[in-house]
Amino acid sequence: METHNASTHEFDAAIALTPTGDGGFTGRTHPAYGNMVGPFGGVIGATLLNAVMSDPALLGDPVSLTVHYAAPIADGGFMVRARPLRTNRTTQHWSVELTQEGQVAAFATAVTALRRDTWSATDARFPDVPAASGLAEAPAIPRAAWTSRYEMRFIDGGPDSAVQDGHPSQSRLWIRDQPPRPLDFVSLSALCDAFFPRLFVRRPKWVPIGTVALTTYFHADAARLQAQGTEPLLGIAKALHFGQGFFDQSAEVWSSDGKLLAATHQVVYFKE
Amino acid sequence: METHNASTHEFDAAIALTPTGDGGFTGRTHPAYGNMVGPFGGVIGATLLNAVMSDPALLGDPVSLTVHYAAPIADGGFMVRARPLRTNRTTQHWSVELTQEGQVAAFATAVTALRRDTWSATDARFPDVPAASGLAEAPAIPRAAWTSRYEMRFIDGGPDSAVQDGHPSQSRLWIRDQPPRPLDFVSLSALCDAFFPRLFVRRPKWVPIGTVALTTYFHADAARLQAQGTEPLLGIAKALHFGQGFFDQSAEVWSSDGKLLAATHQVVYFKE
């Protein structure tokens, strides 16, 4: 197994930003993370988070990230600009915009915070599931390059498995970067958008579809993510409601040793 | 039972905005919706949504709303400004800022859309619960005026009921405006922030606490909300994880006849 470090992995090339000297950045979509049309949204969100985390004014670690996919993003270059809207003693609120040809194509808001030890408890439950090593790797989808950048091993709700455990749109899978890359906030934020649209799990019919807005809550600090290394993460994704052109889906992302690292929620447009 | 219409209910006074003539608005916190310190966050979020829905450029109905509580809001006046960041054929993305003394105290992003009939399905389940009429109304919390503006009838997870149905931080309750007010997007958005912080359900100890960011997905159009009228809504709230100064909680809001109207998620700061 080959492990790439952060400086040589294609993910890092895909989210790379170049300072423009006036506080902004330029970036460029990367073919390794292409989607059927334009770039994979998870990498766009990670790029916006990267702008926040690259800012000299940054306070602490990401606590929440909301990404709006406002319009189709064309393959090629873009501009990114992050602004702290409010800085408190231990928390900071951010706004980030990605523009192409002067128009906003994506934007994000984020909360970062200095975290410290407090009382803790996890009410969500880590399920009893087989280890990743005993499960087959799902094939990538040739028309969506980004799917070959994640190793996905489905427990249920996968492309070749209609059986779910009690919830009709649920998938449970072990997932990690492909090739493996040590986990950090930017890669975790992208992975939170790597759960296939629940509509396709629920209803085997192809229709145009696209995430409109995605929110992720981070339940780990940098040290916890670092401890995860390149081990597979357990993802559990399910939808709540489909109707009138939109559905929502939520997912939990767990470390290999049963710690909840992130909870993520999104609303998705579908054509019919 | 007295029913107020939208023009005379204190909620509408609390979210009222006055155009400043340059596209912005002024507003003012309302004592009926005060919290222990400053205003109830749900009404601030509803005020930001009201700015979007009052804008002549508005396209369609709200699909998602994310509100950031960036700093304490002082009782008194504030400025609100909404901007459509991107308008597509059937969707629109918004940014809204609330300022006091020139500083951003709260801000929001929203998606609005022209909705139309499509395939629909609800994967979340409406639970088997007793009717609102058979349950006692929970007493308001005197130090938090806003709690007397909601009629809450707990099935479980309430202030006088430690028994939960399988989830340690879950509450299930029938809830509506007090006095009753016909449901609409602004009142639904506020109600989505009316679920008590899960930390206090989970751990009976008073600590400083505050919602940092809240996202709501709307699963109903205006006609569906209108059909609900003033009937009680079923809320189901639960937390996923508490730790390092933050926890997240999610809630479903159901109509009295078992339609999922909204799903809402928030991340909350707690001191220890």
Q: A254: burial class by Cβ within 10 Å (0-12, 13-18, 19+)?
A: buried
Q: Are residues B107 and A105, on separate chains, in Cβ contact within 8 Å?
A: no
Quick one: pLDDT band at residue A160, thresholds 50, 70, 90? low
Task: Provide the H-helix boundaries in B102-161.
Answer: none
Residues of B in contact with A63 (CB under 8 A): 212, 246, 267
CA distances from A11 to A64, A180, A255 (A): 21, 10, 20
What's the rounded Cα separation, in Å, for the pair A134 and B1?
Answer: 62
Sign of CA dihedral B130, B131, B135, B141: positive
- CB neighbours of A162 closer than 8 A, spacing ≥ 6? none
Quick one: pLDDT band at residue B2, thresholds 50, 70, 90? very low
Q: What is the pLDDT of residues B178-208, one digit of tens each?
A: 999 999 999 999 999 999 999 998 888 889 9
- CB neighbours of B259 closer than 8 A, spacing ≥ 6? B122, B219, B220, B224
Q: Minimal CA–CA distance to A267: which of B111, B127, B240? A: B111
Q: B16: burial class by Cβ within 10 Å (0-12, 13-18, 19+)?
A: middle
Go through the domains of chain A in sequence order and give each one's CATH number. 10-113+133-270 (2.40.160.210)
Residues of B in contact with A66 (CB under 8 A): 66, 109, 213, 215
The pLDDT value recorded for residue B1 is: 40
Query: Which SS3 state, helix, strand or coil, does residue B136 take?
Result: coil
- CB neighbours of A35 closer than 8 A, spacing ≥ 6? A41, A144, A145, A146
Chain A / chain B CB contacts < 8 angstroms: 212
Question: A-contacting residues of B 105-124, CB under 8 Å?
Answer: 105, 107, 109, 111, 113, 115-124
Question: A-contacting residues of B 89-108, CB under 8 Å?
Answer: 90-91, 93, 95, 97, 103-105, 107
How large is the average pLDDT for residues B70-79?
97
Nearest CA in chain A to B105: A86
The answer to whether B109 touches B94, Cβ cutoff 8 Å, is yes
Q: What is the pLDDT of residues A253-268, one digit of tens each?
A: 999 999 999 999 999 9
Å from A8 to nearest chain B CA? 32
Q: Is B269 on the interface with A (CB under 8 A)?
A: yes
Residues of A in contact with B248 (CB under 8 A): 217, 219, 263
C-beta neighbour count of B195 within 10 angstroms:
24
The angle subtended at Cα B77 by Cα B75 and Cα B83, nearest 5°, is 120
Comparing CB atoms, the residue among B109, B124, B265 nearest residue A68 is B109
Quick one: pLDDT band at residue B231, thresholds 50, 70, 90? very high
Average pLDDT, chain A: 94
CA distances from A122 to A198, B125, B240 (A): 25, 23, 6
Full-model pTM: 0.96
Average pLDDT, chain B: 94
How large is the average pLDDT for residues A160-164?
56
The pLDDT value recorded for residue B164 is: 52
Q: What is the pLDDT of residues A75-119, one digit of tens each?
A: 999 999 999 999 999 999 999 999 999 999 999 999 999 999 999
> Looking at the predicted structure, is the pLDDT value of residue A1 above 80?
no
Helix (H) or strand (E) holding A236: strand A233-243
Comparing CB atoms, the residue among A88, A219, A241 nearest residue B124 is A241
Q: Is B272 on the interface with A (CB under 8 A)?
A: yes
DSSP state letter for A224: H
Side-chain-side CA neighbours of B18 within 13 Å: the count stands at 7
Question: A-contacting residues of B 214-243, CB under 8 Å?
Answer: 215, 217, 219, 221, 238-243
Q: Are strands A233-243 and A246-254 parallel, antiparallel or unpaired?
A: antiparallel
Comparing CB atoms, the residue among B116, B221, B242 nearest residue A119 is B242
Amino acid at B140: A
Q: Is A260 on the interface with B (CB under 8 A)?
A: yes
pLDDT above 90: percentage of residues in chain A: 90
Residues of B in contact with A68 (CB under 8 A): 85, 93, 109, 111
